[in-house]
Amino acid sequence: MRTVILSMIFALVFAQPSMASDQSEVKDIVERNIKIVIDYVKDKGLDKQTRNQKIIDTVVPFFDFDFMAKVCLGKEQWNALNDADQKKFTDLFVKRLQESYLEKLDLYTDEQVVVDTAKKVKSRIYVVTYLVSKGDRMEMIYKFKESGNEWKVYDLEILGVSMVLTYRSQFAGFLKSNSMDDLMKKLEQKGSFAVPTGEKK
């Protein structure tokens, strides 16, 4: 369980986006910036607030949060919202996602992240990594898509479980018996809609 939770830390580990034209460049970005975020976590000279802000500052430009929010909500529900509500949902979703990850940073001890391979899957690039802790080895796949002239993360799979599809299932289930306003209010609550851990139910 500890390894599963710690895998969440490394979903938000990328620095400023750079122009990546192929798998090797994307893999290099992942390797370089995993090291950066681990250095932040290990730096005892940083207070928690400063450390967390540094990590968030590196994450926001590199993840395609707008795309993730849209896919997690689902096309029908997304298209039913006006521009203001789409922005509100995206902002709440991103905030909840970031807070969920940051809450787990203190669990880090000496775990290692091994970047294995990067492969092209149609127009996407998948980077396979492993979180290694005391002999345990957990597979995590970072999925990249081109956004403009940049490669950005749009999903993360942990033990074969998609973060985006898990959130989509949670939201769809909630909306079967609740309104969109209820969903917005739920997202405002701390601890709502837990970050997927890769555990298959």
| CATH number of residue 143's parent domain | 3.10.450.710
On whether residue 20 sits in a domain, the answer given is yes
Grade residue 68 by pLDDT with cuts at 50, 70 and 90: very high
Kindly state whether residue 112 falls inside one of the protein's structural domains: yes
CA angle 37, 12, 77 (to 5 degrees): 170
Q: Which range among 20-29, 92-101, 155-164, 184-193 shows the weakest confidence by mean pLDDT?
A: 20-29
Predicted confidence at residue 182, as pLDDT, reads 96
DSSP symbols for 65-115? HHHHHHHHH-HHHHHTS-HHHHHHHHHHHHHHHHHHHHTTGGG-SS-EEEE
Structural domains in the chain (count): 1
Q: Is residue 136 part of a domain?
A: yes
**What gap in Å lies between CA 196 and CA 201, rounded to an integer?**
11
Compute the Cα dihedral for 39, 139, 19, 98 and give only its sign.
negative
* pLDDT confidence band for 82 (50 / 70 / 90): very high
- The CA–CA distances, whole Å, from 173 to 15, 64, 65, 168, 178 equal 34, 24, 21, 8, 9
Q: Domain range holding 18?
A: 2-187
Band of residue 158 on the pLDDT scale cut at 50, 70, 90: confident
Cα–Cα distance measured from residue 8 to residue 104, given in angstroms and rounded to the nearest whole number: 7
pLDDT of residue 41: 84
Lowest mean pLDDT among 2-6, 136-140, 147-151: 2-6
Residue 51, token pair as written in the block: 């450390």
Identify the top-confidence range among 5-14, 33-42, 115-124. 115-124
Please enumerate in sequence order all residues whose Cβ is within 8 A of that of 171, keeping only pairs 6 or more positions apart, or say none: 72, 73, 74, 77, 183, 193
The separation between CA 28 and the C-alpha centre of its own chain, rounded to angstroms, equals 18
Higher pLDDT, 58 or 21: 58
Express as a percent the part of the chain with pLDDT over 90. Answer: 38
pTM, to two decimals: 0.80
Evaluate whether residue 200 is within a structural domain: no
Q: Is residue 18 in some structural domain? A: yes
Q: Is position 194 within any domain? A: no
Q: Reading across the β-sheet that carries 112-121, which strands appear in turn?
A: 112-121, 124-133, 136-147, 150-158, 161-162
d(CA 141, CA 115): 10
Backbone angles phi, psi at 174, to 5 degrees: -65, -40
- Answer whether residue 6 shows pLDDT above 70: no
195 within 8 A of 101, measured Cβ to Cβ? yes
- Residue 197 falls inside a structural domain: no
pLDDT score at 136: 84
Residue 195 falls within a domain, yes or no?
no
